[in-house]
Amino acid sequence: MSTFAQSARLQQLPPYLFAELDRMKQEQIKKGADIISLGIGDPDLPTPPHIIQAMAQAAADPKNHQYPSYEGMLGFRKAAADWYRQRFGTALDPTTEVLALIGSKEGIGHLPLAFINPGDVVLVPDPAYPVYQAGTLFAGGEAYFLPLTPERGFLPDLGAIPTAVLKRAKILWLNYPNNPTGAVAPREFLAEAVAFARRHGLILAHDAPYSEIAFDGYRPESILSIDGAKDVAVEFHSVSKTYNMTGWRLGFAVGNARILSGLGRVKENVDSGVFQAVQHAGIVALTGPQQCVTDNRRIWQERRDVLMAALRDMGFAVTPPKATFYAWIPVPRGFTSGSFCVDLLVKTGVVVTPGNGFGASGEGFVRAAFTVSVERIREAMDRIRKLGIRGS
Ligand SMILES: *Cc1c(COP(=O)(O)O)cnc(C)c1O
C-alpha cells in the first residue's frame, strides 16, 4: 500500500498556525461557550439584492450554461476597465489589460507559475496574506520576506533588500490597504515601489481587494496611477470585499499586458474561467448604483470606531485603520500572539487571529476583524474588559 506522501512542494508550506486554535475553538463550542469570532476576514453582510437579481436572471439564460472563456467575457472586462477609469483615472484596454479571475486569490496563486523558475526569488511582505508565499513555493521559487513594522508604517524597506537577493528576484508583492495590518500606502511609497521595480526588472504585483473599504474620506490610490507603472505592474482587484461577494468567486487583474498574458496562459491550461452568470452579476456590481458601497463603508466605520474606542479605553496602543476591516493590535506585556489568543478564547470566547500566523514579523500582534455587528463587538470588548487585561 502506498502512503501517498504529499509532494515536497506541499510539505514546504509553513505549518498551519491556526489549526491548534481552531481545535480549541471547537472544544469551547462543544462546552456550550458563546463564541464571538473576530477571526474571519469575510464580510458578514449580504450581497446587495440588485446584484443577486442580475445573477438569477443570467443563470436562467441558456447562453450562460456553457464553458466561459478563460480570460472573461469582453463585457465584464469592459465593465472592469470603465470602473477602473472612473475610480482611479487610468484608462485600460479591456482586451489586453484586464483579465477576469475566479476570485483574485486564483490569480495571485497562479501568477508565479507564469514567471518563476526554480531558484528565482519572490519578494513577499511579512506579515501578509499567505497566498503570496504559497504561490511562490508551488512554482518552485523562494520567498524573501520584507518585514512590515509599526516604525515604518508597515511599509517594507526596499533599500534594505540585499543586492544578491535582488539579482535573483522576479516579483515584488505589495498589498495596500493592507491585510492584516490595516495600513495604507502614501502615494510617495507607491511611486518609490514603481521606480524600484523598473530599476531592478521586477514584476510589481499589487493586491488591492480593500481599495473601496476606506474611512474618514480617505481614497486609496491605484498602483497604475503612478507614471510608468504600466511597464512593470499588475494590480489585483475583487468584488469580494467591496460588494460582500466572497462566495461568488469573481475578481480581476489589470495592468501590464505581457504580465497578464503570462498569467492568462497558465489559466488557459488549468481552468475554464468564471461562470458567465457570475460575470453578469459582476458587471451589474461594477456599473450599477454604488450606494451599497457607501452604505457598507459606513457600517464598517461605525464598527471600527466602537472597537477602537473600547481598545483604547483598555490601554491598547491602537491606531484606527484608515482602510480594511482589520484592527492590528499589539498584545499586552507578558503575552505572545499565540498565548494572548488562547487566553481570550478560553476566558472570554472571543476569537482573534495570532499575528505570527501571517509571518514571523506578525509576532506580538493579533488581528481582529470587525466582521460582526456593533452589538457583538461591544459584548466582546465588555468580556475582555472584565478580565482586567490592560493593553500596552
Ligand atoms: C480577501 C483577500 C483576497 C482574495 O479575495 P478573493 O475573494 O479571492 O477575490 C486577496 N488578498 C487579500 C489581502 C485578501 O484579504
Question: What is the torsional sign of CA 377, 327, 207, 126?
Answer: negative
- Residue 388: CB partners within 8 Å, gap ≥ 6? none
Yes or no: say if 68 and 279 are a contact pair by the CB < 8 Å rule.
yes
Q: Which amino acid is at 234?
A: V
251 pocket-lining for ligand 1 (C-beta < 6 Å): yes
- Is residue 100 within a helix (H) or strand (E), and if so which, with residue range? strand 98-101
Report CA(116)–ligand 1 centroid distance (Å). Answer: 22
Q: Categorize the per-residue pLDDT at 392 as very low, low, confident or very high, splitting at 50, 70 and 90.
A: confident
Q: Which atom of ligand 1 is nearest to the CA of 108?
A: 10
20/354 Cα distance (integer angstroms): 11
Mean pLDDT of all residues belonging to the chain? 96
175 pocket-lining for ligand 1 (C-beta < 6 Å): yes
Q: Which atom of ligand 1 is nearest to the CA of 104?
A: 9
Q: What confidence score (pLDDT) does residue 18 get?
A: 81
Q: Categorize the per-residue pLDDT at 1 as very low, low, confident or very high, splitting at 50, 70 and 90.
A: low
Q: Which amino acid is at 2?
A: S
337 pocket-lining for ligand 1 (C-beta < 6 Å): no
Q: Which three cell numbers stand for residue 13?
A: 508550506
Report CA(105)–ligand 1 centroid distance (Å). Answer: 6
- Average pLDDT rounded to a whole number, residues 14-27: 85
- Residue 42: CB partners within 8 Å, gap ≥ 6? 246, 371
Q: Which atom of ligand 1 is nearest to the CA of 106?
A: 8
- Is residue 76 within a helix (H) or strand (E), and if so which, with residue range? helix 74-88
Does residue 17 register a pLDDT over 80? no
Mode of pairing for the β-strands spanning 203-207 and 233-238 = parallel
Report CA(311)–ligand 1 centroid distance (Å). Answer: 26
In the chain, the domains with their CATH numbers are 8-46+292-386 (3.90.1150.10), 49-287 (3.40.640.10)
129 pocket-lining for ligand 1 (C-beta < 6 Å): yes
- Average pLDDT rounded to a whole number, residues 241-269: 98
Task: State which of 133, 206, 207, 358 you would mutate to test the pocket of ligand 1, scoring each by most atoms of that ligand within 8 A of its C-beta.
Answer: 207
Report CA(189)–ligand 1 centroid distance (Å). Answer: 22
pLDDT digits (tens, 9 = 90+) for 272-285: 999 999 999 999 99
Q: What percentage of the chain's residues is helix, strand, coil (to nearest 5)?
A: 45, 15, 40
Yes or no: say if 351 and 383 are a contact pair by the CB < 8 Å rule.
no
17/354 Cα distance (integer angstroms): 8
Query: What single string gives the DSSP state of each residue in 46-63?
Result: PPPHHHHHHHHHHHT-GG
Task: State which of 148, 241, 274, 367 you would mutate to test the pocket of ligand 1, scoring each by most atoms of that ligand within 8 A of its C-beta.
Answer: 241
pTM score above 0.85: yes
Q: Which atom of ligand 1 is nearest to the CA of 179?
A: 13
Q: Cα-flanking dihedrals φ and ψ of residue 71, to 5°? A: -85, -5
164/323 Cα distance (integer angstroms): 35
Q: Categorize the per-residue pLDDT at 22 as very low, low, confident or very high, splitting at 50, 70 and 90.
A: confident
Q: What confidence score (pLDDT) does residue 218 get?
A: 97
Yes or no: say if 184 and 153 are a contact pair by the CB < 8 Å rule.
no
103 pocket-lining for ligand 1 (C-beta < 6 Å): yes
**What phi-psi label fits residue 8: left (phi over 0), alpha (psi between -120 and 50 degrees) or beta?**
alpha
Report CA(183)–ligand 1 centroid distance (Å). Answer: 16
